[in-house]
């Protein structure tokens, strides 16, 4: 048996948190080398051990290692990591039952009357520790599944391991990491979060059960075209189960038991029982009634949510399944398994599994998953190359997804549209969506964690008070009954049972206020999180700008204006821009391309498709038609044909698409092969077969023949893009008749079709800003909330929109970061983007500004495209990525996974991020953000905690404003409840010291009438309607300002209580309370006590726990005012909430309670029944000075509390507490000291930063080429964070010797300046060199520890 240290005997060490944790997905995306996992099994690499890598950390390396278990010999036998490097990465630890421990635990539960079972029920991993022993996974009967969410939130799941043993091999399981199945007679598995994990005997590890699409080739998928035999279906059904997405529906009784056993209700139940036993029935009854109402509401809401989700999800269809013998069977969709061949019906069917289309074409409605109502055309999967591995993203155009609807199919007349099932149940796309609802990511919010710590601290205070009181009462020989009741009474005082309920008031009220503003929340706990955000990310199209695009016009070239039959000399010059497309010749190639290159369809007699395609096609004036009646064409594999208006030569052009390569966001283009004929008066012309391709100008540029592109192509493109236009490029070519036959066309690959194209022109569209965008972005910027645009559009278009909408203020520069691979090495250049308007009716390019920019006093923002972003994440993650993520304003050409990656990087820099998108391609980023807002009402919005029915970004400041108010309310009410409990605790401890206490009716007055009513209306303050404050409210209780605020108020309250106590004792009429003589018999106070009626009501027996005394009167009267003072002090208004004076319910409650408190203090004798109920032994009426002194002390307490809270805490301490310790603040501070960064490129100067990861051991250099004077070292960008000179790093010295030996400049030797980054694994040097020699430099790689600060001589020009 391997040796395991005592610390790791039962559980992994999850306490080794680094400065910054990251999610498994972020871990993977940032290419961070994993550390400290030696000896653990990685199921993706099929290895039982991982080689530890030596990683040298950099001061800027904020993206730290994933938190895990340190390497310990033998851990691979106890633990494996499943889903390694993925978002759902889990650690699995093996356990088996230990009979002795199991029986001992059961005995302990019985002996403690179930009390021991409560913590074991709450923390089920402790149940494992008490009843089981850790063992090798092969012998495990239970597993502990540990989920380190983002490295900062650990969740434990305890799951049973199931084993099936059959006498003969009649079961199948997937081969680990392979596409085939193996027949077995037994297998073991466990289920976690609706995923099944199967044991691999060969690799000695668990692996996740996946569908048919794991590592399967296209040829293997097509091999399933005949279908599965009945025996194979039965075996796979046993493995995968029913094809159902079952939402668990628990009975009301089970829900009740689970709810009542939660810590909150258990503590409330204990408190209620204790109070009833102590004859404190009034308040306990009130708490019991409110708890019942709360419990009933919780059960109703939970049940309703489960029912609604189940009603939404549960559905079934009758499908046709094919067998290898050629027969077909009608079966319920729940019976299909991966590998089945199903027939896709013509129309009107909802697909309830994920399948790959093998034959035919299907037009699908995917709005449920994507939020887009545009029909999507799915084509059959290619058969060649057969060895290509199927990938869900790459082959999305061939994949039918669960939950989508089949609108229509197309096929040859005798063809059957078939698809192979690849995923069923929770393995499908819809299943993954439902799983994200059932198991949402934990909301990690500092306030909640701190509140738990604070409650624990209050419990410690209660423990100290308990011990002190117990010792005092034992020494006084009090009865056991009195000791127990008085001691436990302190627990319910210091930790009030109503605290958790009170803390949710702000969230509940904020949620109610969001509803009338068309913002709906499915995760109310996220409201407080949104109150602390300081960064907002926006999608562009559909979010900042309108969804639809309007045609601006076209910019053709000479070739694009040629007619169909024209065979003229090819010319590449630009023609004049044309804004009215009808003015163009209908037979010109550019118009023909616009009319044929699209994915429009006729569905239900209407043209349906992408809105951009619709706009472009409609502008040509052509018509979309089907041959004959639409219904008769449903059995044909044909697309609608296009028909032009009558041309200038009285002819009509008809185009029939033959082959379509659909648009892909990764490929950034689509193309169509179409057969074109011209119907003239004398008949039809000879048909021509043509290819038209449209897409992003950058992509089309690569596909076109260079000699067909105008020489100023790039500059003209930039001129229009910089004005915010959406630009598409159009290209085409003619296919020679020999290759135009149908058989040869079908065999042509996309690469062959799209090769050697002729450029035809640019199609220019404009996208208008939404009316709310400018005002919202201006408001957010005024509140110091960073705004970032994350879009899939062209970078220059995005930059222009960013300027127009105010995301980048006028006068502030935008610098483009461009990263590319040069000779296999990454290179980075920086260029300022100049904002100049494009001239209408002119295609002249703008001249670039070649002036060297000094950014010392000029704010700037960075812009980057997706390709450059990926290179920087992979190669410059320590030296450029933190700066780019901190100063980046525009991130363009970003794929959905890149958007999610960016959000996680921003979070790693200590930003709290709101992501706002239209729900189409933003689901990953919406889920990853601290708070996501979807502007789509489709079911894809379930990925986001918030959904706005108002389709613009005006919801963002509304949400922030309400969330800030909710957060401040939560803070205030928590501090109020904590201060109330400690204040009451102090009052009780003072009275305990004289063996007295507050009376039951005094407790009732404080707990029920004062605290409960004030707490109930505390959060009724509306959010502040003025401008957003420049700083978010505090989000941590364990920080300077909240602690000072709470402790200062407690100190003030305690001082006044002690002061009134001693002041009372100093009065001439004062008689000290005697527990054995509670009626003051034989003392000067006897007459006054008898006249009050207290003796007749309560008697003089000490066993009845009398409390009436002068000390009790003084402590009670001043403390009741203190609870009102606390609510006034903690009810913060500006700048996050309206003043409490506008909170009418709170104001009325305060006035009424204060009036009654005055009555109890000044004139209690005037209402004798009330005085008796409260057990108030008031001082002599003749001494009015004493009561006025109490009121004066109350006034002093109020003034001092308000001064301390409003001035000292909110002004002085607040400034001290707002330290710039967040990582992005440190980076901005460092950049403010670097006026020369980033080094900008000009026409004659180019800055390249070349680096690779240190593991590759390649050169890392910076080259600055040009005729500029070399900068001295002390002005260069020598380090991003200063490295102390005294530090002697051997790794730096070694790098200086080995990585960059001196090289000679071929033409001239120029004195250079050393430039270093402080990252030990990446150091850089700069030197002036000849522009013709980019790979030579005189600057050497120098250790960061030995930076030369002397100035170098200037280089000759």
3-state class of 730 per DSSP?
A: strand
Structure tokens at 217: 């080739």
Point out which residues pair with 624 in neighbouring strands: 642
DSSP category for residue 578: B
Percentage of the chain lying above the pLDDT 70 cut: 80
pLDDT score for 64 = 35
Q: Locate all alpha helices (DSSP H) within 61-131, ordered by sequence.
A: 75-78, 99-111, 117-122, 124-131
- pLDDT computed for residue 444 by the predictor: 58
469 DSSP β-pair partners: none
pLDDT band at 920 (very low <50, low <70, confident <90, very high): low
Q: Is the pLDDT of residue 1337 over 70?
A: no
Whole-angstrom distance, CA of residue 899 vs CA of residue 29: 11
Residue 166: is the preceding peptide bond cis (ω within 30°)? no
List, for residues 940-974, the tens digit of each pLDDT value: 455 678 888 888 899 999 999 999 999 999 889 88
Higher pLDDT, 794 or 843: 794
Q: Give the per-residue pLDDT at 373.
A: 61
> Is pLDDT above 80 for 808?
yes
Question: In the structure encoding, which two tokens stand for residue 12, read together?
Answer: 């992994």
Contact in structure between 84 and 208 (CB atoms under 8 Å): no
pLDDT in tens, 719-738: 888 777 888 999 999 998 88
Does residue 573 carry a pLDDT above 60?
Answer: yes
User: Is it the case that residue 280 has pLDDT exceeding 60?
Assistant: yes
Asked if pLDDT for residue 1002 goes beyond 70, the answer is yes
Residues in Cβ contact with 495 at an 8 Å cutoff, skipping those fewer than 6 apart: 267, 455, 458, 459, 462, 981
First to last CA, the chain: 74
With 70 as the cut, is the pLDDT of residue 1281 above it? no
Calculate the alpha carbon distances from 72 to 4, 53, 377, 972, 1294 in Å: 8, 16, 53, 46, 31
Q: What is the pLDDT of residue 427?
A: 92
What's the pLDDT band for 674 if we cut at 50, 70, 90? very high
Confidence of residue 261 (pLDDT cuts 50, 70, 90): confident
**In the chain, % of residues over pLDDT 90:** 26
Closest CA to 552 of 581, 582, 593: 581
How confident is the model at residue 1309, as a pLDDT? 36
Region 496-516: what's the mean pLDDT?
81
pLDDT of residue 748: 85
Average pLDDT over residues 1301-1307: 35
Q: Is the pLDDT assigned to residue 448 strictly greater than 80?
A: no
Q: What is the pLDDT of residues 344-388, one digit of tens each?
A: 987 778 889 999 999 988 888 877 665 556 678 888 888 878 888
Residue pair 620/632 in contact by the 8 Å Cβ criterion: no
Q: What is the pLDDT of residues 855-875, one digit of tens each?
A: 445 688 999 998 899 999 988
Quote the pLDDT of residue 371.
54
Phi, psi of 254 (to 5 degrees): -65, -40
When the pLDDT of each residue in the chain is averaged and rounded to a whole number, the result is: 78
| Pairing of the two strands 860-865 and 813-822 | parallel
Compute the half-sphere exposure of residue 239: CA atoms within 13 Å on the CB side of its CA.
33
d(CA 645, CA 617): 13
Give the model's confidence band at 1254: pLDDT under 50 very low, under 70 low, under 90 confident, else very high: very low
Give the three-state DSSP class for 1273.
Answer: helix
Residues 423 and 415: beta-carbon distance below 8 Å: no
Q: Residue 434 pLDDT > 70, yes or no?
A: yes
Q: Evaluate if residue 888 carries a pLDDT over 90.
A: yes
Cα gap 803→774, rounded to integer Å: 10
Name the one residue in this structure whose structure tokens are 């404050």.
1029
**How many other CB atoms are found less than 10 A from the CB of residue 1338?**
20
Indicate which residues carry an active-site annotation: 539
pLDDT of 164-195, one tens digit each? 888 777 788 888 777 788 888 888 999 999 99
Of 300-314, 348-362, 1333-1347, least confident by mean pLDDT is 1333-1347
- The whole-angstrom separation of Cα 762 and Cα 1119 is 78
pLDDT (tens digit per residue) in 469-494: 888 778 877 778 778 887 787 777 77
């Amino acid at each position: 048996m391997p040796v395991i240290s005592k610390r790791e005997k039962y559980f992994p060490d999850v306490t080794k948190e680094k400065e910054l944790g990251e999610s498994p997905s972020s871990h993977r995306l940032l290419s961070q080398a994993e550390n400290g996992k030696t000896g653990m099994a990685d199921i993706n690499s099929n290895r039982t051990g991982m080689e530890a890598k030596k990683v040298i950390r950099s001061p800027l390396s904020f993206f730290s290692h994933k938190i895990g278990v340190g390497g310990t010999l033998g851990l691979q036998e106890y633990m494996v990591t499943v889903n390694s490097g993925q978002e759902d990465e889990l650690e699995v630890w093996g356990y088996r039952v230990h009979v002795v421990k199991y029986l001992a635990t059961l005995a302990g539960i019985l002996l403690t009357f179930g009390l021991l079972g409560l913590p074991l029920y709450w923390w089920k991993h402790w149940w494992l520790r008490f009843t089981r022993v850790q063992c090798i996974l092969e012998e495990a009967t239970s597993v502990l599944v540990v989920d380190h969410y983002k490295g900062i939130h650990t969740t434990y799941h305890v799951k049973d391991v199931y084993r099936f043993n059959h006498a003969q091999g009649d079961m199948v399981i997937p081969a680990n990491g392979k596409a085939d199945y193996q027949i077995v007679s037994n297998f073991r598995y466990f289920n976690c979060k609706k995923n099944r994990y199967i044991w691999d005997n060969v690799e000695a590890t668990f692996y996740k059960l996946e569908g048919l699409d794991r590592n399967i080739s296209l040829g293997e998928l097509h091999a399933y075209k005949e279908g599965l035999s009945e025996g194979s279906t039965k075996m796979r059904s046993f493995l995968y189960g029913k094809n159902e997405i079952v939402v668990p529906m628990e009975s009301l009784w089970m829900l009740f038991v689970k709810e009542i056993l939660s810590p909150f209700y258990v503590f409330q139940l204990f408190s209620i029982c204790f109070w009833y036993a102590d004859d404190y029935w009034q308040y306990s009854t009130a708490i019991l009634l409110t708890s019942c109402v709360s419990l009933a509401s919780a059960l109703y809401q939970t049940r309703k949510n489960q029912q609604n989700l189940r009603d939404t999800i549960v559905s079934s269809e009758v499908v046709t399944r094919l067998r290898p013998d050629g027969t077909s069977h009608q079966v319920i969709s729940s019976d299909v398994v991966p590998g089945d061949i199903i027939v896709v019906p013509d129309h009107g069917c909802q697909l309830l599994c994920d399948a790959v289309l093998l034959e035919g074409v299907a037009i699908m409605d995917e709005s449920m998953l994507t939020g887009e109502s545009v029909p999507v055309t799915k084509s059959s999967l290619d058969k060649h190359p057969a060895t290509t591995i199927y990938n869900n993203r790459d082959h999305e155009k061939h994949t039918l997804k669960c939950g989508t609807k089949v609108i229509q199919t197309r096929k040859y007349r005798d063809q059957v549209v078939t698809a192979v099932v690849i995923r069923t149940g929770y393995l499908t796309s819809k299943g993954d969506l439902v799983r994200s609802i059932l198991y949402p990511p934990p909301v990690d919010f500092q306030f909640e964690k701190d509140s738990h710590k604070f409650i624990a601290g209050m419990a410690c205070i209660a423990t100290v008070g308990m011990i002190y009181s117990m010792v005092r009462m034992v020494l006084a020989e009090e009865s056991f009954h009195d000791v127990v009741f008085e001691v436990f009474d302190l627990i319910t005082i210091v930790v009030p049972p109503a605290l958790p309920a009170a803390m949710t008031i702000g969230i509940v009220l904020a949620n109610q206020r969001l509803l009338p503003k068309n913002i709906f929340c499915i995760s109310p706990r996220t409201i407080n999180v949104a109150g602390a955000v300081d960064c907002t990310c926006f999608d562009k199209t559909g979010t900042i700008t309108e969804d639809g695009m309007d045609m601006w016009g076209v910019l053709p070239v000479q070739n694009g204006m040629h007619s169909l039959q024209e065979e003229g000399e090819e010319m590449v010059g630009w023609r004049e821009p044309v804004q009215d497309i009808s003015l163009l010749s209908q037979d010109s190639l550019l118009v023909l391309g616009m009319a044929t290159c699209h994915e429009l369809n006729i569905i239900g007699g209407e043209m349906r498709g992408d809105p951009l395609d619709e706009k472009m096609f409609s502008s040509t004036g052509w018509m979309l038609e089907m041959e004959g009646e639409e219904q008769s064409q449903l059995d044909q594999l044909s697309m609608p044909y296009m028909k032009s208006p009558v041309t200038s030569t009285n002819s009509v052009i008809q185009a029939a698409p033959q082959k379509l390569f659909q648009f892909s966001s990764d490929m950034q283009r689509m193309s169509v092969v179409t057969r074109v004929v011209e119907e003239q008066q004398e008949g039809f012309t000879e048909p021509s077969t043509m290819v038209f391709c449209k897409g992003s100008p950058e992509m089309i540029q690569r596909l076109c023949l260079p000699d067909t592109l105008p020489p100023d192509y790039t500059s003209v493109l930039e001129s229009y893009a910089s004005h915010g236009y959406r630009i598409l490029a159009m290209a085409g070519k003619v296919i020679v008749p020999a290759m135009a036959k149908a058989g040869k066309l079908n065999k042509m690959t996309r690469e062959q079709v799209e090769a050697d194209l002729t450029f035809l022109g640019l199609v220019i569209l404009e996208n208008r800003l939404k009316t709310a965008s400018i005002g919202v972005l201006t408001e957010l910027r005024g509140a110091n909330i960073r705004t970032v645009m994350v879009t899939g559009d062209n970078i220059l278009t995005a930059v222009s929109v960013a300027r127009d909408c105010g995301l980048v203020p006028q006068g502030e520069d935008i610098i483009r970061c461009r990263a590319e691979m040069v000779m296999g090495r990454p290179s980075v250049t920086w260029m300022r983007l100049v904002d100049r308007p494009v001239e209408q009716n002119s295609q002249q390019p703008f001249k670039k500004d070649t002036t060297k920019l000094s950014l010392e006093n000029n704010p700037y923002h960075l812009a980057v495209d997706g390709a450059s972003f990926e290179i920087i994440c992979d190669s410059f993650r320590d030296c450029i990525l933190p700066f780019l993520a901190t100063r980046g304003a525009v991130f363009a050409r970003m794929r959905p996974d890149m958007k999610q990656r960016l959000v996680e990087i921003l979070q790693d820099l200590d930003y709290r991020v709101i992501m706002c998108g239209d729900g189409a391609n933003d689901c990953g980023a919406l889920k990853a953000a601290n708070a996501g807002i979807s502007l789509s009402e489709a079911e894809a919005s379930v990925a986001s905690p918030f959904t706005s029915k108002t389709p613009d970004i005006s919801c963002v400041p509304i949400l922030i404003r309400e969330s800030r108010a909710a957060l401040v309310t939560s803070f205030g009410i928590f501090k109020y409840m904590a201060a109330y409990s400690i204040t009451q605790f102090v009052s009780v401890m003072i009275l305990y010291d004289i063996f007295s206490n507050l009376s039951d009716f005094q407790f009732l007055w404080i707990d029920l009438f004062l605290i409960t009513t004030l707490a109930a209306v505390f959060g009724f303050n509306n959010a502040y309607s003025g401008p957003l404050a420049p700083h978010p409210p505090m989000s941590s209780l364990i920080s300077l300002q909240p602690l000072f605020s709470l402790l200062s108020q407690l100190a003030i309250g305690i001082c006044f209580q002690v002061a009134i106590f001693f002041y009372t004792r100093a009065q001439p009429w004062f008689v000290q309370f005697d527990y054995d003589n509670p009626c003051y018999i034989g003392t000067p106070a006897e007459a006054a006590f008898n006249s009050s009626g207290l003796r007749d009501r309560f008697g003089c027996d000490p066993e009845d726990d009398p409390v009436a005394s002068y000390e009790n009167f003084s402590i009670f009267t001043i403390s009741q005012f203190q609870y009102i003072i606390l609510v006034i002090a903690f009810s913060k208004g500006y700048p996050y909430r309206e003043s409490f004076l506008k909170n009418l319910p709170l104001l009325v409650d305060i006035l009424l309670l204060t009036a009654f408190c005055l009555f109890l203090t000044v004139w209690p004798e005037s209402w004798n029944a009330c005085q008796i109920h409260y057990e108030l032994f008031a001082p002599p009426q003749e001494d009015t000075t004493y009561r006025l002194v109490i009121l004066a002390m109350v006034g002093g307490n109020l003034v001092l509390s308000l001064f301390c809270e409003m001035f000292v805490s909110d002004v002085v301490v607040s400034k001290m507490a707002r330290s710039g310790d967040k990582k992005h603040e440190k980076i901005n501070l460092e950049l403010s000291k670097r006026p020369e960064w980033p080094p900008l490129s000009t026409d004659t100067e180019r800055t390249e930063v070349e680096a690779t990861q240190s593991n590759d051991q390649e050169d890392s250099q910076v080259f600055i080429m040009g005729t500029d004077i070399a900068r001295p070292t002390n002005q260069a960008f020598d380090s991003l964070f200063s490295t102390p000179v005294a530090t002697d790093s051997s790794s730096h010295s070694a790098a200086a010797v080995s990585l960059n030996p001196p090289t000679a400049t071929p033409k001239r030797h120029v004195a250079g300046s050393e430039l270093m980054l402080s990252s030990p694994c990446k150091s850089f040097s700069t030197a002036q060199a000849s522009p013709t020699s980019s790979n030579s430099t005189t600057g050497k790689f120098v250790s960061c520890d030995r930076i030369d600060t002397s100035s170098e001589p200037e280089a000759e020009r």
